[in-house]
Structure formats: structure tokens, C-alpha cells
């Protein structure tokens, strides 16, 4: 263990997201993923939720000034090697997060959580343009699924949606295809390349927290110094393995069975 610690110095990664009391998504899942990737996880909650594996019953946003105070105090003391941003709940919280992080040097991975799988809004609709202009602009990576990409850009085609987000200031875009009718292929786009990360659909049924786990794993890997494409491929393989190992814990969606990332090989890709 000491040799591994010497090879990979312990980095810190900050999650800014909502709380999920099931532990299957949000801050709680992010911290589990960070720990498995051997980075130290820090967390600033943006909202409490009342939810079970069956769905979200209530969303209780944090006071924006409390979110901002936590962030400013934390960043004065600790220097994250990467930042993962998930559920932000309200326009005011989006604005304060964008204001604090505007000139922060750490790469940020933005998972634009707009709604729960049961349709409950996790970000008020009026905040969509603010999210793009204040948080996605300047991000190292933004990771919307197909419906989130369309909601933020007005484009149903993933390549056109990615182009809009790049033009808005994101450095890279990963359009997740897990909700598509075909195989769950993801599209990774930068200003220079467009790469399809091929996936294979699992037959286990609905699994909670896959998007959170993917973006958290990418952030952890960026913090450890991996290149973006390598981090995205490895994170996708990690989530696919977690889906295969998912388990039933309640009466609703399955929870991810998080594997040791060291035991996972990368998934295939094709660059155009």
C-alpha cells in the first residue's frame, strides 16, 4: 500500500451536488467513487432531497449564501485537483457557484443534472441558460445525457448539441447515450476530435446513479493526471462494471455495485 501511495500521491477532489439519502447518487455516491479511485473527496451540498429507490419526493435547496460560504472557506484552505459539479437546484445557486469558480484553476467536470428519472425537477428551468453561461463555460468537460443536451441546446442530434456547448465555452463534451434506444455509446467531442466510446447494454434493468458515477470517476482520474480521453474510457468501463454488479436494496431502482477501478480495463472507442 505504501508503494501505491508513493506512486499516486493523494489528491483532493471536490463534489458540489445534492444529497441522496439512499447513497445511490449525488454527494454520497461521488464520495464512494472518489475513495475507490484513491483520491480524497470533499463535498459541498447544494440541496437535501427526500427520496428512496422509487423516486424523489421532495427537493430542499440550500441557501445560496451558505453554498457560497462553504465554497469560499474551503477553497481558501484546500486546493482541489479537480471539481465535479452535479445537481445545483436553483438559479441562485448556479450563479453563486459560477461566481466562486470563475477563475479557479482546477478542471471541473459538470454533470448537468436537470431532472430525476421519475421526472422531478432537480434544476429549475429558468436556470438552464445560467448553467450554460456561468458553469459549463470554462468547464474541462460537461457530461449531459441526450435529453439534457437537447434541453440545454435545443439540438436533438448529439454532434450538433456538442458543437453548441463547445461554442458556449466548454472545453470538451461527453454526450451520454445510455437513454438511447440503440447501444449506449457515448460521444466525446473536443475542438480537435470526435470520439465514440462504444458501450454494451446490460439486461439488469434500471440502475440508479450511473451519470453521477461516470462524472465522479472522470473527475477523480483527471485529478490523478490522466488525459481526458483515457479518463473517459476508463470511467465508462468502471460504470459498466458497476451496472453488471448492481444490486437490489429497496423497492425501486437497483444500486450500483462499485468495483475496484484497478480491476477494470478500458472500453473501446473510435475517433473521427
pLDDT at 263: 83
**Residues forming beta bridges with residue 47, ordered by sequence position:** 61
Name the percent of the chain lying above pLDDT 70. 92
Q: What is the rounded distance in angstroms from the CA atom of residue 70 to the CA atom of residue 74?
A: 6
pTM recorded for the entire structure: 0.94
User: Which of the four pLDDT bands, split at 50, 70 and 90, describes residue 1?
Assistant: very low
Q: State CA 205 to chain mean position distance.
A: 21
Q: What is the rounded distance in angstroms from the CA atom of residue 88 to the CA atom of residue 61?
A: 8
Which distant-in-sequence residues (6+ apart) come within 8 Å of 256 by Cβ?
24, 29, 207, 208, 209, 210, 213, 239, 242, 243, 245, 246
Q: What is the rounded distance in angstroms from the CA atom of residue 121 to the CA atom of residue 111?
A: 15
Beta strands 172-175 and 186-190, pairing class: antiparallel
What is the arithmetic mean of pLDDT over 234-252? 96
What is the arithmetic mean of pLDDT over 27-50? 98
Q: Is it the case that residue 183 has pLDDT exceeding 80? A: no
User: Which of the four pLDDT bands, split at 50, 70 and 90, describes residue 264?
Assistant: confident
Kindly list the structural domains of the chain, giving each domain's residue range(s) and its CATH number in brackets, ordered by start.
10-271 (3.40.1190.20)
User: Which of the four pLDDT bands, split at 50, 70 and 90, describes residue 184?
Assistant: confident
Name the percent of the chain lying above pLDDT 90. 86
Amino acid at each position: 500500500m505504501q508503494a501505491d501511495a508513493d506512486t499516486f500521491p493523494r489528491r483532493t477532489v471536490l463534489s458540489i451536488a445534492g444529497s441522496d439519502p439512499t447513497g445511490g447518487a449525488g454527494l454520497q455516491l461521488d464520495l464512494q467513487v472518489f475513495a475507490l479511485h484513491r483520491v480524497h473527496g470533499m463535498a459541498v451540498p447544494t440541496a437535501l432531497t427526500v427520496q428512496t429507490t422509487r423516486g424523489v419526493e421532495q427537493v430542499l435547496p440550500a441557501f445560496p449564501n451558505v453554498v457560497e460560504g462553504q465554497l469560499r472557506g474551503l477553497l481558501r484552505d484546500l486546493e482541489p485537483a479537480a471539481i465535479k459539479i452535479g445537481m445545483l437546484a436553483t438559479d441562485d445557486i448556479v450563479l453563486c457557484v459560477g461566481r466562486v469558480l470563475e477563475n479557479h484553476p482546477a478542471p471541473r467536470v459538470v454533470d448537468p443534472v436537470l431532472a430525476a428519472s421519475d421526472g422531478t425537477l432537480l434544476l429549475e428551468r429558468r436556470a438552464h441558460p445560467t448553467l450554460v453561461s456561468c458553469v459549463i463555460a470554462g468547464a474541462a468537460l460537461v457530461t449531459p445525457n441526450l435529453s439534457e443536451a437537447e434541453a440545454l441546446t435545443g439540438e436533438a442530434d448529439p454532434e450538433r448539441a456538442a458543437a453548441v456547448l463547445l461554442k458556449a465555452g466548454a472545453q470538451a463534451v461527453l454526450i451520454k447515450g445510455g437513454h438511447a434506444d440503440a447501444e449506449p455509446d457515448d460521444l466525446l467531442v473536443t475542438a480537435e476530435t470526435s470520439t465514440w466510446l462504444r458501450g454494451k447494454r446490460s439486461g439488469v434493468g434500471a440502475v440508479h446513479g450511473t451519470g453521477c458515477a461516470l462524472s465522479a470517476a472522470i473527475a477523480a482520474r483527471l485529478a490523478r493526471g490522466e488525459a481526458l480521453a483515457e479518463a473517459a474510457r476508463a470511467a465508462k468501463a468502471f460504470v459498466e462494471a458497476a451496472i453488471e454488479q448492481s444490486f437490489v436494496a429497496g423497492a425501486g431502482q437497483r444500486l450500483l455495485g462499485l468495483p475496484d477501478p484497478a480491476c477494470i480495463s478500458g472500453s473501446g472507442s473510435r475517433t473521427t
